[in-house]
Amino acid sequence: MGKTSQDFYKNPDKYLLKLENRIEKYNKSLDKDLLKKAYFFSFNRHLFQLRDSGDPYAYHPYEVAKILAELKFDIKSIATALLHDTVEDGVATNCEIENSFGKEISYLVESVTKLSKLQLPDKEVREASNFSKFILAISKDIRVLLIKLADRLHNMRTISF
């Protein structure tokens, strides 16, 4: 486990504050309660999971949320980034997400999860141009795609593991 990830485990409030400060630079009316709730929901649900790198799993959704904050995304997208693997990893249900975070965030989390599980039917669909049209056709909200791209970006940054 790296030095940063050990600190993340021991000082989760410090990392929440860093994310909050980053968002407040462009969003003065930040819903801090929503951010905190999503952050700790993810942190606690992934508490005993580790990535192949040895880092706490919760550090991954945190990094995805940071990517979105750098791009000045809305708070619901950032909350979705924090929650995006909770349903896929089986540490939460869609019903729990909806009850805790509302229909919009539940829809986003569920859509990102479905996109992760997408099995492309044949070679033609897998071609780049057709793939992008296909993805856009199945997504009602562009944020789903952008959150998934941020997820993939973080995974690529840690591909050595």
Could you give the residue numbers annotated as active site? 88-89
Residue type, 88: E
Q: Is 50 helix (H, G, I), strand (E, B) or coil?
A: strand
Are the CB atoms for 116 and 139 separated by under 8 Å? Answer: no
Are the CB atoms for 76 and 107 separated by under 8 Å? Answer: no
d(CA 67, CA 16): 14
CB neighbour burial string for 86-119, b if at least 16 within 10 angstroms, e if fewer:
bbeeebbeeebbbeebeeebbbbbbbbbebeeee
d(CA 142, CA 127): 20
